[in-house]
Amino acid sequence: MSLWARCGELEREGTSFVTVTLTEVRGSAPQEVGAKMVVSLEGLEAGTIGGGKIEFAGITTAQELLRGPQSPPIVVSWNLQTDIGMSCGGEVTLLFEQHSQENWPIVIFGAGHVAQALTRLLANLKCQVTCVDPREDWVSRLSGVRGICHPDPKDLVSTFSPQSFFLSMTMGHAHDVPILREIARHAPEAPYIGVIGSEVKGIKIKRELRDFGVSDVFLNRLRVPMGLPIGNNEPWEIAVSIAAELLKVRDE
């Protein structure tokens, strides 16, 4: 995988990273000017600036940046012998550029027509979208987001952050209810929990959930129908109304 392809993957995953570029060499150094690497908090993701002690020092510096607030690009010059402890007598200058990703996880259950439109809208925003559906053919149509095909989506609820925005857009309320029960157990205070459908569907879903012992506090926070009251019933317009509501809740 190319360095830039890995950068794209990290952005889609919502993982912050630093690019480190060798911009100047004086004397002997293990790499040429222009050498580049990508570093996350997990370590080296792609590329190299020469390996060994210089690379270790570069990774350590990049990770120190990632642990702090977003910073402008910084330039560091090292004497490889006195600063790094290498036998080479050269000097290098490195450019560190921090790429911080916003942490806005969105989990969508269901990959049908409206979800296809919504995920394409959300793929252009600074968020991390995961879409789960038991139908491989629908998951394969997703673009720009993480898709998961699983025979029983409710089993995956507990694998997501309780601070996720949860959207249930399945084939019907019989599929929504088991998922919502798991959300009520795992993430009752999630910032957003919504279901696609009508007010009548919402009444039925809340009645069933109450019969299963789900609290009224959770039911009062459940948005059915979700989305702002704009547009018509076309998938793309419904998607716009939902995306607008997600932005509204995020910024409240």
Inter-CA distances, 144 with 8, 81, 109, 119, 126, Å: 11, 46, 16, 8, 12
End residue of a domain, out of 49, 64, 99: 99
Residues 234 and 177 in one domain: yes
Range of the domain at 157: 105-250
Residues 39 and 133 in one domain: no
pLDDT at 50: 86
Residues 109 and 176 in one domain: yes
Residues 152 and 246 in one domain: yes
Residues 42 and 123 in one domain: no
| Chain CA centroid to CA 191, Å | 16
Separation CA 145–CA 164 (nearest Å):
15
Find the CATH number of the domain harbouring 146. 3.40.50.720
Reading the chain (252 residues) residue by residue, the pLDDT tens digits are 689 999 988 887 778 899 999 999 988 778 889 999 999 988 999 999 988 888 999 999 999 998 887 789 999 999 988 888 877 778 899 999 999 876 789 999 999 999 999 999 999 898 889 999 999 999 999 998 989 999 999 999 998 889 899 999 999 889 999 999 999 999 999 999 999 999 999 999 999 999 999 999 999 999 999 999 999 999 999 999 999 999 999 998
Separation CA 142–CA 104 (nearest Å):
19
End residue of a domain, out of 99, 121, 145: 99
Inter-CA distances, 137 with 55, 114, 144, 157, Å: 44, 15, 16, 21
pLDDT at 118: 98
Residues 160 and 246 in one domain: yes
Residues 91 and 175 in one domain: no
pLDDT at 193: 98
Tokens of 153: 């989506």
Residues 119 and 238 in one domain: yes
Residues 43 and 140 in one domain: no
Residues 118 and 229 in one domain: yes
Residues 128 and 223 in one domain: yes
**Count of domains forming the chain:** 2
Which residues lie closer than 8 Å to 174 by C-beta, 6 or more apart? Answer: none
Contact 187, 172 (CB under 8 A): no
End residue of a domain, out of 33, 67, 99: 99
State pTM to two decimals. 0.68
Residues 86 and 144 in one domain: no
pLDDT at 87: 76
